[in-house]
C-alpha cells in the first residue's frame, strides 16, 4: 500500500474492531447501544483531523464541519457514511486480511473452511490486478459496508487540513445510525445539518454511481387459523403454517430476487414464524418504477384475497409499511450534485455507470426529504457476508473523487 491507502486502512482496522451490528427487531433508537459508543469515539477523532462544531445528537448521529479555507463562493457539501453493520452475519471479532499486490488468481480466505475468491466467481477481481485486496478470515463479515466509507471521509478531512493550499468550501460530514435497518435516517435533522447537497459513500464497485434506487415497502401477513385434534380436522381445521407456505409458493417465480436483475422488481418472503393457531409472514417489496411497484402490491393483495376464499375458516390480513422511494427524479430536477460528481469522475479518469441500485441508501431517503444525495462507490464487494472484499486501489479512487468534488465546488 502507498501511504494514503495505509492511512485509510489503519483507520478501517480500528473501526471494524468495534461491533456495531444493528437490530431490526429493536424498538430503541439507535437499535443497538454500541452505535452510540462508536459515535462518541468518532466524534473525538473528528476534532483531531480538523472538524469543528462536532456533535453527537440524541439519536447517535455524529456530525461536524470542516470550515471553508477560501472566501470564494461555494456550496455546503455533505459526506455521509453509516456506522452500523448488518445483522445477517456475524459482525464481531472482525480480523481483516491483506492480500498484497493481487496477481489475478485465487485468493484464500480460510483454507480450513475451503473458502476462496476467484475471478471466475468474483468477476470484478479481474479489475484489481496489482491492488492490495482486503478480505475477512472467513468467520465474520468485513464491514467495508460502510466503515471503509467512514475511514475515507475521515482521511480526506485530515488531508485537506494538512494541505491548506487546496481550496475548498464548507464541508459537512455525518456518520449515521441504523442504515442497514432502513430506519435510522428518518431521525436525521437535515435542516440543522445545513448542506446544499450531499453524497453517501456507500456503494461498491469502482465507477458505479447510484442515482436511483428501488421503491421499497415491507409487507407483513398475519394468519389466524382454527385448530383442533388432527384426527377430527376434516372440514374444520385451518392450518396457518400450510396457508403461509401456500402464499409463498403461489407468488410468481419470475418476480423473486433470485430470478431478477437490473431494474426488475421482486417480492422477497424472508421470515415466517408461528404454529397451528397463528402465523406471521414477513417480506419486502422492491421495484424501481413507482407504477409497477404499486402493481406488485396490488398483486399481493389479490393473492391474499384468493387465499381468503380458499381458506374461509382462517383470518388473513396484509399490511404494507413504507421504507423509501426512488430518488432518480429529484436528482434530475436539482442536478448540481450529479454535475460535480460526474466532473470529478472524468477528472480522475474513472469509467463510470449511472445505476439504479437494487437496494436503498440513506441518500435515497434524504433526497426525498429535500437533500439531493447520490451514492458513490466505496470500494467493497460481496457485502453482508464472509466473502466480502475491498480493493484498496478502488478506495484510493474514492478518496480522490471526494477531493475533486470539494475542490471543484469552489467558484
Mind telling me the catalytic residues? Answer: 84, 179
User: Do residues 388 and 134 lie in contact, with contact meaning Cβ atoms separated by under 8 Å?
Assistant: no
Please tell me the distance from the alpha carbon of residue 328 to that of residue 340, in angstroms, as a whole number: 16
All 3 cell numbers of residue 99? 492480500
Pick from 66, 85, 43: which is nearest to 175 by CA?
Answer: 43
Instruction: Tell the burial category of 299 from Cβ atoms under 10 Å away from its Cβ (0-12, 13-18, 19+).
Output: middle
User: Do residues 177 and 58 lie in contact, with contact meaning Cβ atoms separated by under 8 Å?
Assistant: no
Please tell me the distance from the alpha carbon of residue 156 to that of residue 139, in angstroms, as a whole number: 31
User: Do residues 45 and 38 lie in contact, with contact meaning Cβ atoms separated by under 8 Å?
Assistant: no
Q: Is the peptide bond before 160 cis (omega within 30 degrees of 0)?
A: no
Three-class HEC string of 138-186:
CCCCCCHHHHHHHHHHHHHHHHHHHCCCCCCCCEEEEEECCCCCCCHHH
User: Do residues 396 and 59 lie in contact, with contact meaning Cβ atoms separated by under 8 Å?
Assistant: no
Amino acid at each position: 500500500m502507498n501511504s494514503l491507502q495505509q492511512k485509510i486502512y489503519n483507520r478501517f482496522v480500528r473501526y471494524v474492531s468495534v461491533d456495531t451490528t444493528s437490530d431490526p427487531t429493536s424498538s430503541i433508537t439507535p437499535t443497538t447501544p454500541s452505535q452510540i459508543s462508536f459515535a462518541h469515539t468518532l466524534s473525538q477523532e473528528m476534532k483531531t483531523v480538523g472538524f469543528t462544531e462536532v456533535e453527537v445528537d440524541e439519536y447517535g448521529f455524529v456530525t461536524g464541519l470542516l470550515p471553508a479555507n477560501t472566501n470564494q463562493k461555494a456550496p455546503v457539501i455533505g459526506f455521509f457514511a453509516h456506522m452500523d453493520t448488518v445483522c445477517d452475519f456475524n459482525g464481531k471479532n472482525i480480523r481483516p486480511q491483506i492480500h498484497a499486490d493481487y496477481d489475478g488468481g485465487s485468493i484464500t480466505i480460510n483454507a480450513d473452511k475451503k473458502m476462496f475468491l476467484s475471478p471466475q466467481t468474483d468477476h470484478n477481481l479481474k479489475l484489481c490486478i496489482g491492488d492490495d485486496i482486503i478480505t475477512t478470515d472467513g468467520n465474520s463479515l468485513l464491514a467495508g459496508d460502510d466503515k471503509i466509507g467512514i475511514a475515507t471521509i475521515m482521511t480526506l478531512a485530515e488531508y485537506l487540513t494538512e494541505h491548506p493550499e487546496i481550496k475548498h468550501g464548507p464541508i459537512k460530514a455525518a456518520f449515521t445510525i441504523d442504515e442497514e435497518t432502513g430506519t435510522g435516517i428518518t431521525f436525521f435533522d437535515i435542516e440543522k445539518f445545513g448542506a446544499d447537497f450531499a453524497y453517501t459513500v456507500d456503494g461498491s464497485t469502482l465507477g458505479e454511481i447510484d442515482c436511483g434506487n428501488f421503491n421499497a415497502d415491507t409487507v407483513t401477513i398475519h394468519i389466524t387459523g382454527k385448530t383442533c385434534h388432527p384426527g377430527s380436522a376434516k372440514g374444520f381445521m385451518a392450518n396457518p403454517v400450510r396457508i403461509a407456505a401456500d402464499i409463498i409458493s403461489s407468488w410468481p417465480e419470475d418476480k423473486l430476487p433470485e430470478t431478477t436483475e437490473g431494474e426488475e422488481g421482486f417480492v422477497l418472503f424472508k421470515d415466517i414464524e408461528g404454529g397451528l393457531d397463528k402465523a406471521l409472514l414477513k417480506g419486502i417489496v422492491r421495484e424501481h418504477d413507482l407504477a409497477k411497484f404499486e402493481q406488485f402490491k396490488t398483486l399481493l393483495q389479490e393473492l391474499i384475497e384468493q387465499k381468503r376464499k380458499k381458506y374461509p375458516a382462517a383470518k388473513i390480513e396484509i399490511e404494507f409499511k413504507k421504507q423509501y422511494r426512488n430518488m432518480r427524479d429529484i436528482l434530475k430536477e436539482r442536478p448540481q450534485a450529479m454535475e460535480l460528481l460526474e466532473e470529478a469522475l472524468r477528472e480522475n479518469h474513472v469509467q463510470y455507470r449511472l445505476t439504479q441500485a437494487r437496494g436503498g441508501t440513506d441518500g435515497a431517503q434524504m433526497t426525498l426529504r429535500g437533500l439531493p444525495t447520490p451514492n458513490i462507490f466505496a470500494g467493497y464487494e460481496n457485502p453482508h457476508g464472509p466473502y466480502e472484499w475491498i480493493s484498496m486501489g478502488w478506495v484510493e479512487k474514492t478518496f480522490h473523487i471526494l477531493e475533486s468534488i470539494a475542490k471543484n465546488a469552489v467558484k
